[in-house]
Structure 1
Amino acid sequence: MHKFMRLGISLSAVFVVSGALFMYEVILTRIFSAIMTYHFVFIVASVAILGLGLGAMDIYKKMKEFPQTNGQQIWDIGIRSVVFLGFALPLLTLFFYKLPFQLLNFFVYIALAVLPFVLGGRFLSCSFSVLSKYSYLLYFGDLVGAGLAAFGVVTLLNTVNLIRLTVYLGEAILLISLLLNLAIIKKGSRRKVLAALGGVALLAVLAVSPLPEVLAREFSAYRGIPKMIGLLKLNGEQPVVEYSSWDAFARTDVVATKDPNEKLVLIDGGAAAPMVRFDGNLAGVKRLKKEAGYLAFVPEKPRRVLIIGSGGGIDILLARLGGSEDITAVEINPGSVAAARKFSDYNGSIYDLPEVRTFIKNGRTFIDTTSEQFDVIYLSKVMTQAAEGTGYALSENYIYTHEAIRSYLNHLTPDGRLAFVLHGPDDLSKALATVIAVLKESGVADEEIARQVLIAGTPGEHHDQEVNYPLLLVKKAPFAPDELAAITARLNKAQLQLLYLSMNSTPEQLLHYGKIGKTAATVVTDDRPFFYNVGNTIPFELYVLLALVLHLGWRWLKHATGGTVKNKKSLLLYFGALGVGFMLLEIALVQKFVLILGHPTLAFTVVAATLLIGGGLGSLLGQVAAVQRVLMRRRWLPAFLVAVLATLTGVAVPWIFSTGAALATSKTTLTIFTLFPLSVILGLPFPTGLRSLKEEGREDFVPLAWGINGWFSVIGSIIAMMVAITAGFRMVLFAGAMIYALLAYRCRRGLLGL
Structure 2
Amino acid sequence: MALISAAALAYEILLMRLFSIILWHHFAYMIISLALLGYGASGAVLTLAQRAVQQRFAPLFSAAAAAFGVSAIVCFSLAQRVPFNPLEILWDPRQPAYLLAVYLLLLLPFLCAGACVCMALSCFRGMVPRIYSFDILGAGAGSLGVVALLFVLSPADALKLIGALGWVAAAVAWLECGGPRRWPAGLLMALAGLPLLLPQAWVAPTMSPYKELSQILRIPEARLVVEQSSPLGLVSVVESPRIPLRHAPGLSLNATTEPPPQLGVFIDGEGLNALTRFDGRQGSLVHLDQISSALPYHLLRHPRVLVLGAGAGADVLQAHYHDARQIDAVELNPQVVDLVARRFADYAGGLYSGIARVHVAEARGFVAASAERYDLIQVALLDSFSASSAGLYALSENYLYTVEALQDDLRHLQPGGLLAITRWVTLPPRDALKLFAAAVVALEQSGVADPGSRLALVRSWKTSTLLVKNGAFDGADIAAIKAFCVARSFDLAFYPGMRPEEANRYNVVEPPDLFDGAAALLGPGREEFLQGYKFHIAPATDDKPHFFHFFKWRSLPELWSLKGQGGLPLLEWGYPVLVATLVQAAIASLLLIGLPLAWVTWVGARQNNRMPLAGPRGRILVYFLAIGFGFMFIEIAFIQKFVLFLSHPLYAVAVVLFAFLLFAGIGSRVSGRLAEGARAMRYPVAAVAGAICLSAALCLVLLSWLFQHPMGLPDAARILISAALIAPLAFFMGMPFPLGLAKVEATDARLIPWAWGINGCASVTGAVLATLLAIHIGFTAVVVAALVLYGVAAAARP
Fold match by TM threshold 0.5: yes
1:457 aligned partner, one-letter code? R
Pick one of 7, 10, 15 that aligns with 1:28.
15
Q: Distance in 1 between matches of 2:411 and 2:41?
A: 52
> Using a 3 Å threshold, how does the CA distance of structure 1 residues 635 and 502 change in structure 2: closer, same or farther?
closer
What SS is found at the alignment partner of 2:399? coil
Deviations 1:267-302 (A, max 9, x none): 222222222222222211212211111112115631
Q: Which amino acid aligns with 1:84?
A: A
Inter-CA distance 396–170: structure 2 relative to 1 (3 Å threshold): same
Output the CA distance in 2 between the equivalents of 1:83 and 1:669: 35
* Alpha-carbon distance in 2 for matches of 1:657, 1:270: 28
In the alignment, does 2:288 pair up with 1:295?
A: no
The equivalent of 1:546 in structure 2 is 582
Other-structure match for 2:592: 556
Q: Counterpart of 1:510 in structure 2: which amino acid?
A: A
Checking the alignment, whether the CA contact within 8 Å between 1:99 and 1:221 is kept in structure 2 is: no
Moved more, 498-507 or 343-352: 498-507
Q: How far off is 1:561 after superposition? A: 4.0
Where in structure 2 are the equivalents of 1:645-664 lying within 5 Å?
645-654=695-704
Report what 1:163 is aligned to. 156
Q: 1:27 to 1:393 in 2, by over 3 A?
A: farther
* Secondary structure class of the residue paired with 2:401: coil
Return the match for 2:628 from 561, 565, 579. 579
Contact in 1 for aligned 2:592/2:761 (Cα 8 Å): no
Q: CA RMSD in A?
A: 3.4
Distance change in 2, residues 1:226/1:654 (3 Å): same
2:418 is aligned to: 417
- Quick one: distance in 2 between partners of 1:265 and 1:70? 53
Inter-partner Cα distance in structure 2 for 1:662 and 1:271: 26
How far the C-alpha of 1:584 sits from its partner, in A, is: 1.1
Contact map agreement 1:100 1:220 (CA 8 A) in 2: no
1:30: how far off? Answer: 0.7
CA distance 1:23–1:545, shift in 2 (3 Å): same
Q: Please, which moves more after superposition, 237-246 or 165-174?
A: 237-246
For 1:721-740, what aligned pairs fall within 5 Å after superposition?
A: 721-740=771-790
Contact 1:60 1:704 in 2 (8 A): yes
Structure 1 residue aligned with 2:467: 473
**Match for residue 639 of structure 2?**
590
* Amino acid in the other structure paired with 1:495: S
1:406 aligns with 2:382: no
Q: Given residue 36 of structure 1, which amino acid in structure 2 is its aligned partner?
A: L
Instruction: Select the residue among 181, 196, 212 that pairs with 2:188.
Output: 196
Pick the aligned partner of 1:687 from 725, 738, 748. Answer: 738
Whole-Å Cα distance in 1 between the matches of residues 517 and 45 of structure 2?
Answer: 62
Please tell me whether residue 435 in structure 1 is matched to residue 471 in structure 2: no
2:238 maps to 255
Alignment partners' CA distance in 1, 2:108 and 2:710: 49
Write the letter of the residue equivalent to 1:502: P
Partner of 1:328: helix, strand, or coil? strand
Query: Could you tell me whether the CA contact under 8 Å between 1:295 and 1:490 is conserved in 2?
Result: yes
Counterpart of 2:499 in structure 1 is 505
What's the offset of the Cα at 1:172? 2.8
Q: How many angstroms apart in 1 are the aligned matches of 2:651 and 2:458?
A: 37
Alignment of 1:45-124 (within 5 A): 45-63=32-50, 67=51, 69=52, 71-93=54-76, 106-124=99-117
- Deviation per CA, 1:413-469: give whole Å up to 9, x if none: 1111111111232110111001111222334344xx33432222222xxxxxxxx22
Structure-1-length-normalised TM-score: 0.85
Contact 2:379 2:421 in 1 (8 A): yes
Write the distance in 1 (CA, Å) between the matches of 2:756 and 2:108: 17
Other structure's SS at 1:76 match: helix
Q: Is the 8 A contact 1:246 1:252 kept in 2?
A: yes
Q: Does 1:707 align with 2:757?
A: yes
5 Å matches for 1:384-399?
394-399=395-400
**Alignment partner for residue 493 of structure 1, among 487, 495, 498?**
487
SS in 2 for 1:344: coil
DSSP-derived class of the 1:636 partner: helix
Kindly tell me: are residues 512 and 656 of structure 1, through their superposed partners in 2, closer, same or farther at Cα, counting changes over 3 Å?
closer
SS in 2 for 1:278: coil
Paired positions, count = 703
Contact 1:48 1:110 in 2 (8 A): no
More helix by share: 1
Q: How far 1:306 sits from its partner (Å)?
A: 0.6
2:281 paired residue number: 281
Q: Secondary structure at the match of 2:126?
A: helix
Q: Secondary structure at the match of 1:421?
A: strand
Between 660-669 and 270-279, the greater mean CA deviation after superposition: 660-669
**Between 96-105 and 245-254, the greater mean CA deviation after superposition:** 96-105
Counterpart-to-counterpart distance in 2, 1:358 and 1:170: 39
Deviation, 1:86, is: 1.9
- The TM-score, its normalising length taken from structure 2, stands at 0.81
Query: Is the 1:101–1:225 contact (alpha carbons within 8 Å) kept by the matching residues of 2?
Result: no
The 5-angstrom pairing of residues 247-396 of structure 1 reads 247-257=230-240, 258-260=243-245, 261-299=261-299, 301-341=301-341, 342-352=343-353, 354-383=354-383, 394-396=395-397
The residue number in structure 2 matching 1:5 is none
1:227 aligns with 2:214: no
Q: Which runs of 5+ in 2 are unaligned?
A: 87-94, 246-260, 388-392, 501-514, 523-528, 554-573, 602-612
Separation in 2, partners of 1:311, 1:707: 46
Contact in 1 for aligned 2:276/2:314 (Cα 8 Å): yes
Aligned pair partner of 1:426 in 409, 416, 430 = 430
* CA displacement 1:690-726 (0-9 Å, x = unmatched): 1112212x11221222221111112112221222122
Q: Secondary structure of 1:359's match?
A: strand
Q: Please say if residues 217 and 223 of structure 2, whose CA atoms lie closer than 8 Å, have aligned partners that are also in contact.
A: no
1:44 deviates by 5.0
**1:625 to 1:289, Cα distance in 2 relative to 1, 3 A:** closer
Question: Structure 1's 503 and 737: CA in aligned 2 closer, same or farther, altered over 3 A?
Answer: closer
Residue identity (%): 27
Is residue 677 of structure 1 aligned with residue 728 of structure 2?
yes
SS in 2 for 1:547: helix
Per-residue deviation, residues 376-413 of structure 1 (Å, max 9, x unmatched): 111122349x9xxxxx9934121111111111111111
Q: How does 1:516-527 map to 2 (within 5 A)?
A: 518-519=534-535, 521-527=537-543
The amino acid that maps onto 1:511 is A
- Post-superposition offset of 1:37: 3.8
> Do the aligned residues in 2 keep the contact of 1:228 with 1:272 (CA within 8 Å)?
yes
For the residues of structure 2 that align with 1:112 and 1:255, how far apart are their CA atoms? Answer: 33
Q: For 2:627 and 2:227, locate their aligned partners in 1 and report how far apart those are by CA, in whole Å.
A: 41
Contact 2:381 2:423 in 1 (8 A): yes
